[in-house]
Amino acid sequence: MMAMVEAIGQSGYRATTVADVVARAGVSRKTFYVHFANKRDCFLTTYDAVSARATRRLEKAYREAARWPERVEATIGALFGAAIENPAALRLATIEIAAAGPAGIERRERSIARYERFIRDAVEMAPGEGRISETTARAIVGGLYGILQRRGSSGGHSGLLALVPDLVTWATSYYPTPAAITKSPTRAARKHPGFAGGRAPGTLARPSAFIARRGLARGNQNVSRSFVVHSQRERILDAVANLVATKGYAALDVNDIAEQAAISLKAFYEHFADKEDAFLVAYELGHAKGLALVERTYAAQPGWREAVRAGISTLFHFLASEPAFAHIALVDALTATTHTAERSSVGVRAFARMLVPGLEEAPGYARPPAVTIEAIAAGVFELCLHYAVQGKIRELPELTRDGTYIALAPFIGAEEAARVATEAAV
C-alpha cells in the first residue's frame, strides 16, 4: 500500500500499473495478487487506510483542543498538516480517488460525512445555543477539500498551513446558522422560467425514442455540406453526454457513440480525435451555455447580493434542466481523465469570479480573506456533486436558499445572508 501511495503521487491512478507497484514494493506479482484482486482493489484499500489515518489524526487534534475556536483551528490544521507531511497521500485522497469511478466517489462521500461531524462539533462549541446546518457543514468540508485539491495539485503544499487561520475565519462565519436556513429545503419548481426544455448547444438532450431516424436520409442532395457537418457534430455530442451519464466515461466506446449518433466511425473521426476530445467539447459547450445564462441573470440584478442569489438559482435550474450535462460536469469530469479533471476546476473558478465584488461589499473591519472565494466556490460545487451522486440532479433548485446563504454569509454576515437567501426566488 505504501508503494501504491508513492506510485499514485508520481504518476496518478490511470498511469499506475501493478508492475509499478510491485517494483516499488520489492515483491513479486504473485505476492501482490495474494493480497489484492487487482490494481483497483489495492487502490481502494489504500485509500481506506489513508482516510482512517487522517480520521485518527483529526480525532486526536479535536480531543486535545479544549476550547473554541482553538478546536476548529486544530481540526482544520490537522487535516492540512497531514496533507503537507504526505503530498502523495493528499493527491490520492482528494484528486485520484475520483478516478476509481463510482466506488471511489462513494468512499469520498463517506470521508466527507466523517469530516462534517468534526467540523460541525468543533464550530458548535462556540458560546450560545446556535448550531450549524448539515448542508453548511458539507459545504465547509467541500471547501477545505477544494483548497487541498487545487493547491496540492499545483505543488503548493508548503503554503497550506498558512491558510488555516483564514479558513477558520471563513468556516466560523456561518455560525450560528439562522433558523430560516436550518429548516428543510423547500421543493422548488424544476423548470426555470425562460428555459426551453434544456436544449444546450449540441443539444445535450435526452435520447430520443426515434434515435435511429436522426441521421440524414440517404441520397438527400437538398442540404448543404455545412448542415450535414453541423448535424453530425450535434448528434455526436448528444450521444457522448447521454452515454457517459448512463454508463460512465470508462465504459464509453467510440462504436457506441457512432451508433447512437447514427453516423459512421469515419464520420466520428472527421470531427473528433478520440472519445476524450468529444467529451471535452460536450463539457465546454454545456459549460459555456450555463455560464452565459448565469452571467446574463447576474448582470440584470439591481445589486450584488441579489445578483448572487439570482445567479445561483439560474445555475441550479440550468443543471436540473440538463441532467446529462450536469452529470458529466459534476461527476464524470472528475473521473474521466487528468485533463478533464483540470478543466472541471477551471470551470468552477469561472463561476467563482462573480463573488469577487463581495470583498468590497463586506464592512472594512470584517472583510474576509481572499481565499474565502475559492473556498465558497468549492463548497457550492460539493453540494452539487453530492446531489449528483445521490441521483438528485433534478432537485438541485431546492438548494438555492442554502447555496445563496453559503455564498453571502462570509461577506455580509449570517443574518443578512439568510434574509437575502429566503427572499422570493428570482
Reported confidence tier of residue 50, pLDDT bands at 50, 70, 90: very high
222 and 168 within one domain: no
216 and 325 within one domain: yes
In terms of Cα–Cα distance, which of 119, 112, 218, 223 is closest to 177?
A: 119
User: 101 vs 419, which has greater pLDDT?
Assistant: 419
413 and 325 within one domain: yes
Integer Cα distance of 23 and 13 in angstroms:
16
Q: Residue 131 — φ and ψ, nearest 5°?
A: -145, 175
Count how many Cα atoms sit within 13 Å of the Cα of residue 26 in the half-sphere of its side chain.
1
Q: What nine digits make up the cell of 127?
A: 458560546
CA dihedral 415, 418, 422, 425 (to 10 degrees): 130
pLDDT digits (tens, 9 = 90+) for 272-309: 999 999 999 999 999 999 999 999 999 999 999 999 99
37 located within any domain: yes
Segment 293-298 long-range contacts (CB within 8 Å, at least 24 positions apart) = 293/318, 294/318, 294/351, 294/354, 295/354, 297/426, 298/354
227 and 95 within one domain: no
Helices vs strands, H then E, count in the chain: 22, 0
Count how many Cα atoms sit within 13 Å of the Cα of residue 233 in the half-sphere of its side chain.
16
Burial class (CB in 10 A: 0-12, 13-18, 19+), 284: middle
Integer Cα distance of 300 and 132 in angstroms:
32
CATH number at 410 reads 1.10.357.10
Q: Does residue 393 have a pLDDT over 90?
A: yes
Integer Cα distance of 186 and 298 in angstroms:
23
| Rounded alpha-carbon distances, angstroms, from residue 277 to 83, 98, 271 | 33, 20, 9
Q: Over pLDDT 70: what percentage of the chain?
A: 88
Q: What nine digits make up the cell of 31?
A: 505476492
DSSP 39-79: HHHHHHHHHHHHHHHHHHHHHHHHHH--STTHHHHHHHHHH
381 and 242 within one domain: yes
Count how many Cα atoms sit within 13 Å of the Cα of residue 253 in the half-sphere of its side chain.
4
The vertex-214 CA angle with 212 and 219, nearest 5°, equals: 100
pLDDT on residue 130? 84
263 and 345 within one domain: yes
Reported confidence tier of residue 241, pLDDT bands at 50, 70, 90: very high
Peptide bond into 176 cis (omega under 30): yes
The vertex-116 CA angle with 115 and 121, nearest 5°, equals: 100
Q: What nine digits make up the cell of 149?
A: 485539491
Residue 191: helix, strand or coil by DSSP?
coil
246 located within any domain: yes
178 located within any domain: no
Predicted structure pTM score: 0.87
419 Cα distance to chain centroid: 27
How far apart, in Å, do the first and last CA atoms of the chain sit? 51
Q: What nine digits make up the cell of 26?
A: 520489492
Residue 200: helix, strand or coil by DSSP?
strand
**How many residues appear in the chain?**
426
149 and 293 within one domain: no
In terms of Cα–Cα distance, which of 114, 177, 161 is closest to 141?
A: 114
Integer Cα distance of 90 and 396 in angstroms:
29
Give Dmax (Cα) for the chain: 79
220 and 275 within one domain: yes
Partners of 203 in the β-ladder: 200
Q: Does residue 217 have a pLDDT over 50?
A: no
Integer Cα distance of 136 and 116 in angstroms:
9
Of 172, 199, 218, which marks where a domain is finished?
Answer: 172
What is the domain count for the chain? Answer: 2
188 and 166 within one domain: no
Least confident piece of the model among 231-235, 363-367, 404-408? 363-367
369 and 224 within one domain: yes
pLDDT on residue 128? 76
218 and 114 within one domain: no
Of 172, 203, 221, which marks where a domain is finished?
Answer: 172
Contact, 290 vs 364, CB < 8 A?
A: no
Domain residues for 207? 183-426
pLDDT on residue 341? 87
Q: Does residue 210 have a pLDDT over 50?
A: no
199 and 127 within one domain: no
